[in-house]
Structure 1
Amino acid sequence: MPQSKSQSHCGRRPDQKEILRTDARFDYAEDHILTIARFFFQSFACPQSHAWLRASDIAQTAFGDEIGPIIAARLVDVLRSVREARRSVFHFNSPVCEGCAAIVSEHERRLMGALQAVCRGNAGRAQTELMMLCEGNNITQSLGAMTRLSLMLPLAQMQAEVPADV
């Protein structure tokens, strides 16, 4: 019986404004934040998918029972504020297709770049990334939401470093 082409082998390649996820060099928390965000995006794009449930599960698994739900909620605040500021569609890659998930879209790259900049105290870069992501519109809400999310990430990183048998 012939094999059907699975989603894991879609053959997608990055376009000129995209990068490979491995080239992004995300740390543990950032890598999981991107995956969680993609499931939330999928839920926005296709509400009947209930992908937000998978986002919540990943947050809880990656960051623990106490911190995970807080990170998920704060990430939703970031995404909501960006959606309110943007006028055009946010391009994201599928979290369930191995080939697509290996690529970071321009919009995802700017979102994650802003988060990295906020976490590292680089306000200028954070503002630039958010201004580009929000298409020159007001970034005040997005920057505030991202700052609140960033405050949880050191706790998330500590949670990730705790051995599973503790």
Structure 2
Amino acid sequence: MTDHPCSAPDHGNDLPVAGAGLDRSELQVLTVLRYFLQSFTYPASQAWMTAFQVAGRHFPAEQSANLALAALDMVQAMRVARREGFRFSNPECPGCRQVMSGDERQLMGALAAARRGQRSRAHTHALILCEGNDVQPFLEATNILARRMARATQTSERVTAPSS
């Protein structure tokens, strides 16, 4: 449970983003995912464009669009599997974006586990997130995103590595 600085209601399973154990790349992908989700919720916002801009600012230029597309594929696979709505924090609100909903925790838990090779943990998060429905398409999309994040991280480390 956490207090929202913007007075948004706490739904009982919210968590401060800072305490979620996500690395820098995962935090950036969380923002990208939130903008895609916002675009589905409020189509007129055209927030999908901001999702691509965020990816372009935080990942290597030659990989950011493919990474954003993989994030969109992951969201879409989740949307197909779920029957209930997905609660996410508003990426535009300075207070809300500091808080992860329970749904976001499952989504990012699956991604973080996939990135770390924890297949069983990723599957558990996926089952909860997809409400017991078929998780295979979601897990495939999650693994693709995890691989693209690994490539983008390796590329950015090579670019920023000090020369000897």
Q: Shared topology, TM-score over 0.5?
A: yes
Which whole-Å deviations, capped at 9, do the CAs of 1:33-60 have from their partners, x for residues lacking one? 0000000000000101000000000101
CA–CA distance in structure 2, aligned partners of residues 14 and 157 of structure 1: 33
Matched, 1:18 2:14: yes
2:63 to 43, 55, 67: 67
Q: Which residue does 1:27 correspond to in 2?
A: 23
Query: What are the within-5 Å matches in structure 2 for residues 60-139 of structure 1?
Result: 60-139=56-135
Structure 2 segments unaligned to the other structure (5+ residues): none
Amino acid at match of 1:58: V
Q: Distance in 2 between matches of 1:32 and 1:159?
A: 16
The alpha-carbon deviation at position 82 of structure 1 amounts to 0.3
The one-letter code of the counterpart of 1:32 is Q
RMSD value over aligned CA atoms? 1.9
Aligned to 1:4: none
User: Which of 45, 68, 79 does residue 49 from structure 1 map onto?
Assistant: 45
Q: Which has the higher contact order (CA 8 A, sep 6+)?
A: 1
TM-score, structure 2 normalization: 0.90
SS in 2 for 1:98: coil
Are the counterparts in 1 of residues 86 and 103 from structure 2 also a CA contact under 8 Å?
A: yes
- Looking at structure 2, the residues matched to 9 and 86 of structure 1 have their Cα atoms a distance apart, in angstroms, of 30
Kept in 2, the 8 Å contact 1:114–1:126? The answer is yes
Letter in 1 for 2:47: A
TM-score (norm 1): 0.89
Q: Shift of residue 14 of structure 1?
A: 4.4
SS in structure 1 opposite 2:61?
Answer: coil
Aligned residues: 158
Mapped to 1, the partners of 2:136 and 2:41 lie a distance apart of 25
Distance 2:5 2:13 in 1: 22
Alignment partners' CA distance in 2, 1:113 and 1:126: 7
Q: Work out the CA distance in 2 between the residues paired with 1:122 and 1:158.
A: 20
